[in-house]
Amino acid sequence: MSPSATMKRKNGVALWRQIADRIRGEIAAGDHDETGMLPPEMTLAQKFGVNRHTVRSAIAALASEGILEPMQGRGTIIARKERLSFPISLRTRFTAGIGDQVKEMEALLLSHITEPANADLAARLQLPLGTPLIRLETLRKADTRPVSRSTTWFPADRFAGIGEAYQKSGSITAAFKMLGVADYVRISTVISASHADTRDLADLELSPGAILLITQALNADMDGVPVQYAISRFSADTVEFTVEN
């Protein structure tokens, strides 16, 4: 069957791509500012003269860009975003870093186990292979909205009970203090970006296609001895990082 009376494929560009571009343009032009919502899929399909599924392809693409948020039964809302700015420095501290940008911070301990260091972890923490490590899985929220999910490893012999200390205080800094580390510094941070997997979507309450900023951070005490290695996954819609020199 012929595609459409009003739109056709032009120079190899798929119909749904053309429609995505037009919708993106409409939003940028402020056409839907009154409602803050996109018209129903059927309406758009008629307007562009295509099948509903073709419109859905376009909406899915824009949703994965974070521009739209389709909600079953309600409609498709147009996303507005403002990011938390998270400073990375010698004394990177989660709570202190973004504390003034939100009203309330929350830290949840999801799990808490001891495991032997594999080759990668052993090298990073400068410990012999197989050294027991405490692994914490934590979730951080700002104003009830999930911001990051972290996996953190500590040398188990030196920091026995850090899971409980963290759960009580809700802060790594406070937990360290209880265990005799008065101060610590960020040695290195590796920043990358990736798509969210199923687990991220659930924990961070994201929609499929969301993207993450990922940090791999190594902290050491004031003698330069590694005390903590952490991989944190942040919703890229929610945060950005700042490096001041």
Partner DNA sequence: AGCTATTTGTCCGTATGTATT
Partner DNA sequence: TAATACATACGGACAAATAGC
Which residues of the shown chain bind DNA in the complex (CB under 7 A)? 1, 3-4, 9, 12, 14-17, 38-42, 49-54, 56-57, 59, 70-76
Let me know: does 136 contact 109? Beta carbons within 8 Å: yes
Spell out the residues 6+ positions from residue 166 whose beta carbon is closer than 8 angstroms to its own: 107, 109, 136, 138, 172, 174, 175
* Helix axes 15-28 and 52-64, enclosed angle (nearest 10): 60
Tokens of 59: 């909406």
Q: What is the DSSP letter of 39?
A: P
Instruction: Name residues contacting a copy of itself, limited to 86-115 (CB under 8 A).
Output: 88-90
Binding mask 6-45 for a copy of itself (x = CB under 8 A): -----------x---x--x---------------------
Q: Which residue number, 19 or 162, has a Cβ lying nearer to DNA?
A: 19
Residue with tokens 């960020």: 186
Residue 235 CB, nearest approach to DNA (Å) = 18
The closest of 208, 240, 238, 241 to 81, measured between CA atoms, is 238
From the list DNA, a copy of itself, none, partner contacted by residue 241 (C-beta under 5 to 8 A by kind): a copy of itself
From the list DNA, a copy of itself, none, partner contacted by residue 170 (C-beta under 5 to 8 A by kind): none
- Rule CB under 8 A: say whether 193 interacts with a copy of itself: yes
Residue 185 CB, nearest approach to a copy of itself (Å) = 7
From the list DNA, a copy of itself, none, partner contacted by residue 126 (C-beta under 5 to 8 A by kind): none
Q: Which residue number, 5 or 74, has a Cβ lying nearer to a copy of itself?
A: 74
CA 180, distance to chain mean position in Å, is 32
- Rule CB under 8 A: say whether 126 interacts with a copy of itself: no
Let me know: does 15 contact 4? Beta carbons within 8 Å: yes
Which of these segments, 40-48, 133-141, 166-174, 181-189, binds a copy of itself (CB under 8 A)?
181-189
Buried b (16+ CB within 10 A) or exposed e, 6-40: eeeeeeeeebbebbbeebbeebeeeebeeeeebbe
Binding mask 68-87 for a copy of itself (x = CB under 8 A): ---------------x-x--
Q: Which residue number, 24 or 186, has a Cβ lying nearer to DNA?
A: 24
From the list a copy of itself, DNA, none, partner contacted by residue 6 (C-beta under 5 to 8 A by kind): none
What distance in Å separates the CA atoms of residue 176 and residue 226, rounded to the nearest whole number? 13
What distance in Å separates the CA atoms of residue 60 and residue 56, rounded to the nearest whole number? 6
* Interacting residues with a copy of itself (CB under 8 A): 17, 21, 24, 61, 64-66, 83, 85, 88-90, 185-195, 197-198, 208-209, 211-213, 236, 240-245
